[in-house]
A = this chain, B = another copy of it.
Amino acid sequence: MPTCKPLLLNAFNMNCVGHINHGLWAHPRDRSIDYHSLDYWTGLARTLERGGFDGLFLADILGVYDVYQEGIELTLAESIQLPVNDPLLLVPAMAQVTEHLGFGVTVNLSYETPYSFARRFSTLDHLTRGRIGWNIVTGYLDSAARAMGLDGQLEHDRRYERAEEFMAVVYALWEGSWEDSAVLRDKAGRRFADGAKVHEIDHHGEFYRLRGYHLSEPSRQRTPVLYQAGSSGRGQAFAARHAECVFISLQDRAKARELVRSLRRQAVEAGRRADDLKIFLGATAIVADSDAEARERLAEYQRYANPEAGLAHFAASTGIDFSRFGLDEPIRRGNRNAIQSAVDNLTAAERAVTPRALLEQHALGGRYTPLVGSGATVADELARWVEEVDIDGFNLARTVVPECFDAFVDLVVPELRERGLVKRDYPLDAQGRPQSLRQRLFGAGDRLPQRHPAAAYRRSSAGASPSCSAAAAAPETL
């Protein structure tokens, strides 16, 4: 293998029954209907840490998928991300049974207040000892806006303008309110913290106002590891400026390579480095002892998968009600709620897509082309993606749980370790502690580097030398 950079592994999951590969909840061995119990999640976390995974990524959605057939009948029958419980509350229990595994969690900022939101993530960074990440989303469902008491959503680009301001406020809270040396924990001197080094944030912007001190003392990473998945032009620009981890879901190598190149170029243009972005591809793997057995397993899973449920999910993602088209009718128009870029993609040129073609693409109930084979076959395939497309790792969707994660850990991970692509043990930091998530992902410090826009919100003590203070806090980031 010519590639030598390590391959990053995230599991992709959600606090619900049907996530990506729809219908598989009905498989007799599948346990995803137990998503509401703690054991389900602590068991998963232990499996992932056994397999050297870097993180567990938890998606989330506010609102319901009511585009397909203009209702939620199928959504509820197949449990297509409904019911969906809060993902953040899973993290403390999983952190309790692991030492290294990171957690990236989606929270839609459009319905959050920066002050309490920032405290929630600081709390998680404390409780996990620096293993928390935040996937920044701005939402896209009208049903969420209505449920949150609004008439509708902000227009797409305005949502990103609001997101930019939200980031400014939470960076100020996380990075700028408490100086590094503010907390003393000095019992003998009776000083827990030094009031001169804790600062009020005073923000008065277009979307947000805040005057107050951050409620949490500094945590190991301060700002959580930042994830983003926007694919629009505005979304890519946002990722290039803020994100440390980017998720892409393009299953076509050439298109994915083009997107990766564009993202890295935009990061450099934004004053960052090309490898400041770790890029993860959404993937589904079906693994067994041999290639033939893996193909059999795929066929078995497909008997339980529901392509129509996958289509209903895709309908919500694109805003197009595919049930309004004949099975072989080319999709040449959207409807009221359609997302124009999605319509454009589906109607492009002569190869306009039909519902039947979409159903075939969703044979396993989801939109990722499954990688099928023995551990060696799948490991080779993953390595080839990293090598050819310049991604950094994978966001591995589940099929039948827990066996899909066990099979990956038992069959693929040893092959990846054999190839030197996945670590045998989690490295420790200089003090012999488990690394923070950011340390492990970037091989540098706990904190964001100075070239990241969040660093502009740091402040040094009036009395202290700024360079001293910065050097003490984050020597690796200068």
Chain A 197-217, CB-CB to B under 8 Å as 1, else 0, gives 010000000001111110111
Return the contact of A89 from the options B71, B75, B123, B219 (Cβ within 8 A).
B123
Asked whether, in the complex, the Cβ of A122 is within 8 Å of the Cβ of B33, the reply is: no
A96 interface residue per 8 A CB criterion: yes
Q: In the complex, what residues of B have CB within 8 A of residue A217's CB?
A: 36, 83
Q: In the complex, what residues of B have CB within 8 A of residue A72's CB?
A: 195, 198, 213
Asked whether, in the complex, the Cβ of A78 is within 8 Å of the Cβ of B212, the reply is: no
Chain A, range 175-196, C-beta contacts under 8 Å to B: 185, 187-188, 190-195
* Distance in angstroms between the alpha carbons of A127 and B15 in the assembled complex: 11
Chain A 116-142, CB-CB to B under 8 Å as 1, else 0, gives 100110111011010000000000000
* Distance in angstroms between the alpha carbons of A251 and B127 in the assembled complex: 35
Closest to A143 in B: B212
Q: In the complex, what residues of B have CB within 8 A of residue A90's CB?
A: 92, 127
Asked whether, in the complex, the Cβ of B42 is within 8 Å of the Cβ of A96, the reply is: yes
* Distance in angstroms between the alpha carbons of A119 and B209 in the assembled complex: 26
Contact residues on A (Cβ < 8 Å of other chain), bracket? 35 or more
Q: In the complex, what residues of B have CB within 8 A of residue A97's CB?
A: 96
Asked whether, in the complex, the Cβ of B85 is within 8 Å of the Cβ of A119, the reply is: yes
Return the contact of A71 from the options B17, B42, B195, B209 (Cβ within 8 A).
B195
A86 interface residue per 8 A CB criterion: yes
Q: In the complex, what residues of B have CB within 8 A of residue A191's CB?
A: 77
Q: How far is the CB of A164 from chain B (nearest CB, A)?
A: 17
Asked whether, in the complex, the Cβ of B15 is within 8 Å of the Cβ of A193, the reply is: no
Q: In the complex, what residues of B have CB within 8 A of residue A143's CB?
A: 212
* Distance in angstroms between the alpha carbons of A147 and B62 in the assembled complex: 25
* Distance in angstroms between the alpha carbons of A141 and B155 in the assembled complex: 35
Asked whether, in the complex, the Cβ of B187 is within 8 Å of the Cβ of A28, the reply is: yes
A167 interface residue per 8 A CB criterion: no
Asked whether, in the complex, the Cβ of A115 is within 8 Å of the Cβ of B62, the reply is: yes
Given contacts A113-B148, A147-B212, A212-B146, contact A89 B88 (CB under 8 A): yes
- The 10 A-B residue pairs with the shortest CB-CB distance, nearest first, are A147-B212, A79-B192, A36-B126, A149-B209, A85-B123, A73-B195, A92-B93, A86-B123, A76-B193, A83-B217
Binding site for B on A (CB under 8 A): 15, 17-18, 23, 25-28, 33, 36-38, 42, 62-64, 71-73, 75-79, 82-86, 88-93, 95-97, 111, 113, 115-116, 119-120, 122-124, 126-127, 129, 143-144, 146-150, 185, 187-188, 190-195, 198, 208-213, 215-217, 219, 306
